[in-house]
Amino acid sequence: MLKMESITKIYRTGMVETRALRDFSLEVEEGEFVTITGPSGSGKTTFLNVSGLLDSFEQGHYWLDGMDVSRLSDREMSRVRNEKIGFIFQSFNLIPDLDVFDNVDVPLRYRGLKARERKERIEKAVGMVGLSSRLRHLPSQLSGGQQQRVAIARVLAGDPKLILADEPTGNLDSGMAREIMDILEQVNEAGTTIIMVTHNPEHAARAHRQLHIADGRMVDLERIAPFPLNRTEAVTRQVAG
Amino acid sequence: MEFGPIFRSLLRNRARVVLIVAEVALTLAIVANCMSLILDTRAQLARESGFDDEHMALIRSTPFAEGLDKQEVLDQLVDSDLETLRAMPGVKAASNTTLEPWEAGGSISAIRLPGTRDEPMESQFYAADPSTFDSLGIPIIQGRGFTREEFEHGASATPTETLPVVISKSLADAAFPDGKAVGRELASSDESQRYLVVGLIDHFYKPLGAAEDRVMLTPGRTASFDYGSTYLVRTEGDPGALLPRMEKALLAKEKGRFLRLRTVVEVRDEYHRRDRLLVGTLNGVMALLVLVTALGIVGLTSFSVTERRRQIGTRRALGASKAAIVRQFLLENWMVTSLGVVLGAALAYALNFGLVTWVAGAKLSVLVVAVGAAGLWLIGVASALGPALRGAQVPPALATRNV
Amino acid sequence: MLTYNLRLAWKSIRRHPVLSTLIIAGIALGVGVSTTFITAYHVLASDPVPGKSGSLYYVRTNSWGAVDNPFREGPPPLLSYRDAREILKNGVPVRRTASFASRMTVFPPSQKSQERPTREGVRLTTSDFFAMFNAPFQYGGPWNREADAKPEAVAVISAALNHRLFGGQDSVGRTFRLDDRDFKVAGVLAPWRPRVRAYDLVVDPLAEPEAVFIPLEWVGPMEIRVSGSQYNWRSPEPGEEKLPFLDRLVLQESLFFQLWVELPDEARVKAFQSWLDAYVAEQKKLGRFPHRPDNRVTPLLALMDELRVVPPQTKALAAISLLFLVVAALNLIGLFLGKFLARASTVGVRRALGASRWTIFVQHLVECELMGLAGGTLGVLLALGGLAILNRVYGDGPDGVPFFQLDVPMIGGAVLLSLVAGAIAGLYPAWRICAIPPARHLKNQ
């Protein structure tokens, strides 16, 4: 699904260069649920930005879904983001002026879908996160957990191959956080690859694989449990069905 | 002492600096040129005729009835009309003349000193009667006015006779630089007609061609069927109040004619109408422009304050007083505005050059640019004051707070 | 996508009412001021005889007989009766007309005779006049060429005068008295208020057309005097005043006639010019035209330029008002910049969700242009107000139509100006916002 080879990302501010990623390599299989931990400033967010094509990098290669995305134009990158990647943020990042329906609508608009298809997708996605009754609510009228569910619906409506989640539970209390994790697990079980940055060891532990970034490098590449049994079953069922 | 850091901070905010500089510069260029046009026009508006404009009325009488087309009848009508007008309470003087102050038309002729072959001089020409000077409210400053005999004879004078004339001082100065005009002769440019200067009037102004302050008055009654006759009346008080009564009295004498009665002030206002409109318009455009620019500076400065709230908080936490914050923003704005003013002065001259070359207008004076620059300077800095004061209200605690 | 962008723009405008009002007001002021003055200029400077001005030429020649020649920049702008009459006989132009203005007394038709007569502007001209200057007829038409020559007592009257004399009915064939003679109505003009009177560029180009038009040759029999400019160089000789009026007119050589010819092609222009040169050369032999020959056949639009028919202040104001719009738009750059950068995080989200830089750029530019158009609409209303003020000075036409009016091209121009203002104000902020790296504002809000 995702393959990075020797990626180096440098930030320049004035005279100072910061190497946010150094010789960074990683491979994630389709259908995997990977969590990434690491101290603040270690390069987690940079990794997510680079893998989400929100940021460019200086050296190395990056393949996404079998396609070399190392050197794309802005327009091509935007298209890949729109069609293949879904983002979930710590601060939800819903657009405050838009109601639930319109927020979920945003990526579909950029994909240029017909009104009818958009409507179907939106209603289905919002239904999946259990907010069908809130379609016309504004983000400010929703709780944090609900907002994050809308953000997930926004991802689901786009039907991406890869979800990048940046501390999706960081702003939520433990009950709501668990709800969100449950939804993410369901989505993953349906076949979508998820890479999640988290500080929460309990949530990290729910993944197939836990990675650790420190100082811009992948420290621990060891697979903790390569596809635990119960999950392998789930994936095969999905593939078979 | 604070220039250095502020200057470097400005360099990092190039967009904002460029915008304010461009706004101030363009505004100054436009304002200076508007001011120049206004001053030019106001100078025109301020010119005085030299007559008692506020107490004069013009009456034009144009006959249409049959029987009024005989010269003797028309002449008699003029005399009886003047008697009627003079007999009215509130009327100081009334005369029959073709000199209509502030009226757009008039007549110009070329004259010269007899026997010379230089370029002739141009002068306005009007007919007058003995009371014309009294009606205009002006004295004869040298020599004398016209006598009754000269007036009666004027209309039937043959071209071979020398006509007595009263001329304006500026014409006298041009024709007789030695200052002794009275008793000397002038002639029409082809010398078919001779004039003897019998008197001088001090000041005359009627915008018409190149001869706006030169006039030559000849004695004679003017009454014709086609052009009618004009009466100039001077009153004690406001002539406007007397016009309806004058009209009634004149129509009672002879109703086979058209009468048009106006105060000279009305005529003057009519003459100035377009210039007044121009001044008003330019003032309006200038006011709006300055307002818009001030708003723009307020907007940009507020934006820069908002952007730097954290920075301000940090400065405050590090011990900067509120006054120091205000000073910083004002100083910053002052530097930017100054740059705009300097560029604007150059731009003002460029715009003026363009206007003078391709359109119209007078050359820009240094004073106008200086006044405009000073004004914009004040406005620029004053516009920054509000946002700067608001910036100073940022609490020092903001520095430690995570957003 | 456009509708989506428009919806987003509308939401954004509504979300910041004060800021939006300021921006729209700024554009409205700029567009209002510039539309007002550009309209004023456009009305005065546009072609006064559309479709015909290219073939209309004004004829001048220097017949000044005095030794001193006060006309330094070219020939006198007006012709003498003598020359006008000769030039009118030339057959090269397909149409030709000479005219001058007078004021005469109009008496109402007999059944209304208790009314006082009125003093009206009268133009003495020839039958070709009406076709040459596109004078529109309501009833009847011009008199014919026989009426010119004889002359016949026929007249064309304005709609306003027809209303006053005949209650606005078709009065063709009816009579009214002009000074001491009865005239028969040949035609009634439709309400006619050319902003520039092309036929009278020299004397009073911005005035209303006259109320009455009669054949030029009445000047002699009715002893009609000019009202307006005239130039005289000759002092009458003793005894001359006893001659008949027409003889005096010929002798006197007063200049007060304006003469126009219609020359549809270059060949005719050349032919006419050489005929005119030959005519003047011949007159020189007779002792007239003492000064260097200066015979001019000037196209209408060139003459308008030369005589500065459009007051130069109007041009200056139009130029200044355009600059005003630029300053107003520049001012809005700052406001838009603040507004857009304040929502950088939202833009980051949109970028993450697949909006390209271009998409974001377009979205924001649409917002600027929407506000530009809103400002432009208000600006057109302001311009109507501004023109109403100008009209207080320039006045209404006989038909109550104001002197300055917004026409379709000017409204189109105002819309274009508001789009340009929106673009000036919006391009840079839209570029700035779309150039922000998408990742920057996603992490913390």
Could you please report the per-residue DSSP string of A100-142? HHHHHHHHHHHHT--HHHHHHHHHHHHHHTT-GGGTT--GGGS
Q: Which of B188, B296, B359 sits opposite C315 (nearest CB)?
A: B359
C366 to chain A, closest Cα gap in Å: 16
Q: What is the per-residue pLDDT for C391?
A: 85
User: In the predicted model, what is the mean pLDDT of residues B169-182?
Assistant: 92
Put simply, whether C439 touches A (Cβ < 8 Å) is yes
Inspect the interface and report whether the beta carbons of B289 and C335 lie closer than 8 Å.
no
Considering only alpha carbons, which residue of chain C is nearest residue A111? C354
Q: Is the CB of residue A193 less than 8 Å from the CB of residue A32?
A: yes
**Residues C121 and C103 sit within 8 Å (Cβ to Cβ):** yes
What pLDDT, in 10s, does the model give residues B76-101?
999 999 999 999 999 999 999 999 99
Are C421 and C23 spatial neighbours (Cβ–Cβ below 8 Å)? no
Neighbours of chain A (3+ CB pairs under 8 A): C
How far off is chain B from C343, nearest CA to CA, in Å?
12
Q: Does any CB of chain C come closer than 8 Å to the CB of residue A42?
A: no
Of C221 and A42, the structure prediction assigns the larger pLDDT to C221
Question: Is the confidence at residue B158, as pLDDT, over 60?
Answer: yes
Question: Are residues C40 and C404 in contact, defined by beta-carbon separation less than 8 angstroms?
Answer: yes
C162: buried, middle or exposed (CB in 10 Å: 19+, 13-18, 0-12)?
buried
* pLDDT at site B2: 62
Reported as type and span, the H/E element at residue A68 is strand A67-68
Residues of C in contact with B274 (CB under 8 A): 311, 393
Give strand pairing partners of B164: B196
Q: Do A35 and A203 contact (CB within 8 A), yes or no?
A: yes
Rounded to 10 degrees, what is the CA torsion of A57, A61, A62, A65? 160
Residue C158 confidence (pLDDT) above 50: yes
Instruction: State which H helix or E strand residue B58 sits in.
Output: strand B56-63
In this complex, is the C-beta atom of B243 within 8 Å of any C-beta atom belonging to chain C?
A: no
Which residues 7-46 in chain C show a CB within 8 A of chain A? 11-12, 15
pTM equals: 0.81
Q: Which two tokens stand for residue A15?
A: 């005279």
Express each pLDDT in C282-291 by its tens digit.
Answer: 999 999 999 9
Q: How confident is the model at residue C68 (pLDDT cuts 50, 70, 90)?
A: confident
DSSP code at position C68:
S
- Using a CB–CB cutoff of 8 Å, tell me whether C442 touches chain A: yes
Q: Least CB-CB distance to A75: which of C356, C437, C444?
A: C356
CB count, 10 Å around CB of B224?
13
**How do residues C107-154 score in pLDDT, each as one tens digit?**
988 765 577 889 999 999 999 999 999 999 999 999 999 999 999 999
Q: What type of residue is B343?
A: L
> Is the CB of C349 inside 8 Å of chain A's CB atoms?
yes
Dihedral sign of CA atoms C23, C24, C30, C31 in order:
positive
Q: Is the CB of residue A14 less than 8 Å away from at least one CB of chain C?
A: no
Residue C296: its H or E element: strand C296-299
H helix count then E strand count, chain B: 11, 11
For residues B146-155, average pLDDT? 86
B351 interfaces chain C, CB cutoff of 8 Å = yes
The whole-angstrom distance between B289's CA and the closest CA on chain C is 7
Cβ–Cβ below 8 Å for C320 and B403: no
CA distance C366 to C9: 7
Distance from CA of A234 to the nearest CA of C (A): 29
Rounded distance, CA B86 to CA B93, Å? 6
Cβ–Cβ of C11/A110 closer than 8 Å?
no
Interhelix angle C17-45/B264-307, rounded to 10 degrees, is 140
Q: Does B16 touch chain C (CB under 8 A)?
A: yes
- Contact at 8 Å (CB) between C294 and C62? yes
Of residues C315, C328, C341, nearest to B292 (C-beta): C328
DSSP assignment string, C156-192: EE-HHHHHHHHTTS--TT-EEEETTEEEEEEEEEPS-
- Give the length of chain B: 403
Q: How far is B22 from chain C (nearest CA, A)?
A: 8
* CA angle (C59 as vertex; C56, C65 as ends), nearest 5: 170
pLDDT score at A231: 43
Q: For residue A74, count other CB atoms closer than 10 A to its CB.
A: 17
- Dist CA C324 CA C320 (whole Å): 6
User: Could you give the CA distance from residue C249 to residue C82 in angstroms, rounded to a whole number?
Assistant: 8
Phi then psi for residue C441, to 5 deg, are -105, 15
Any chain C CB within 8 A of the CB of A55? yes
Q: CA dist A25 to A9, A72, A77, C348, Å?
A: 12, 19, 20, 26
Amino acid at A16: V
Which residues of C fall within a CB distance of 8 Å from A107? 353-354
Distance from CA of A183 to the nearest CA of C (A): 20
pLDDT at A221: 47
Tell if the CB–CB gap between B159 and C236 is shorter than 8 Å.
Answer: yes
Of the candidates A88, A95, A17, A12, which has an alpha carbon nearest to the alpha carbon of residue A48?
A88
C362-393 CB burial, b ≥16 within 10 A, e <16:
bbbbbbbbbbbbbbbbbbbebbbebbeebbee
CA distance B403 to chain C (A): 8
Distance of CA C424 to the CA centre of its chain: 31
* DSSP conformation letters of C364-422: HHHHHHHHHHHHHHHHHHHHHHHHHHHHHHH-B-TTS-BSS---HHHHHHHHHHHHHHH
ipTM confidence score: 0.84
Q: Look at residues C93, C34, C108 and name the one whose alpha carbon lies nearest to residue C323.
A: C34
- Please tell me the distance from the alpha carbon of residue B273 to that of residue C253, in angstroms, as a whole number: 35
Exposed (0-12), middle (13-18) or buried (19+): which is B327, by Cβ within 10 Å? middle
Any chain C CB within 8 A of the CB of B177? Answer: no
Picking from C231, C248, C313, C392 by the largest number of B CB atoms within 10 A of its own CB, the best residue to mutate is C313
Q: What is the mean pLDDT of residues A29-46?
A: 87
Q: Which of C354, C438, C444 sits opposite A82 (nearest CB)?
A: C354
Cα–Cα distance for residue pair C394/C38, rounded to 1 Å: 16
Kindly indicate the confidence band of residue A14, based on its pLDDT and cuts at 50, 70 and 90. Answer: low
Residue type, C22: L
What is the Cα–Cα distance from C436 to C351, expressed in whole angstroms? 10
**Nearest CA of chain C to the CA of B324: how many Å?**
25
Upstream peptide bond of C151 is cis (omega within 30 degrees of 0): yes
Length of chain C: 445
User: Where would I find the H helices in B196-263?
Assistant: 243-253
pLDDT of residue B106: 85
Pick the residue with more confidence: C34 or C390?
C34
How high is the mean pLDDT of chain A? 85
C131/chain B closest Cα distance in angstroms: 30
**pLDDT at B155 > cutoff 80:** no
Q: Which of B313-317, B352-356, C270-274, C321-325 has the lowest mean pLDDT?
A: B313-317
Which pLDDT band, with edges at 50, 70 and 90, does C222 fall under?
very high
Distance to chain A for C329, nearest Cα, Å: 27
pLDDT digits (tens, 9 = 90+) for A180-236: 999 999 999 999 999 999 888 888 888 888 888 888 888 754 544 444 444 444 443
Can you tell me the distance from the alpha carbon of A107 to that of C128, in angstroms, rounded to the nearest whole number? 71
User: Best residue in A9, A108, A110, A161 to probe C by mutation, most C CBs within 10 Å?
Assistant: A110
Closest CA to C341 of C272, C408, C426, C432: C432
- Rounded CA separation A167/A200 (Å): 9
Mutate: best of A53, A73, A87, A93, partner C, most C CBs <10 A = A93
Q: Does A52 touch chain C (CB under 8 A)?
A: yes
Sheet holding A162-166, edge to edge: A85-88, A162-166, A193-197, A33-37, A209-214, A217-218
Residue A122 has pLDDT above 80, yes or no: yes
Query: Searching chain A, which residue's CA lies closest to the CA of residue C12?
Result: A97
Interface test with C, best of B289, B376, B390 (most C CBs within 10 A): B289
Phi, psi dihedrals of residue C386, rounded to the nearest 5°: -60, -45
CB contact under 8 A, A95 and C12: no
Question: A38: how many CB neighbours lie within 10 A of its CB?
Answer: 23
The Cα–Cα gap between B341 and B22 comes to 9
Q: In whole angstroms, give the CA distance from residue A116 to residue A128.
A: 19
- Is the confidence at residue C57, as pLDDT, over 90? yes
In degrees, rounded to 5, the angle at the alpha carbon of residue C19 between the alpha carbons of residues C18 and C23 is 120
Would you call C345 and A93 a contact, using CB atoms and an 8 Å cutoff? yes
Q: pLDDT tens digits, residue range A131-154?
A: 999 999 999 999 999 999 999 999
Q: Nearest by CB to A106, which of C350, C358, C445?
A: C350
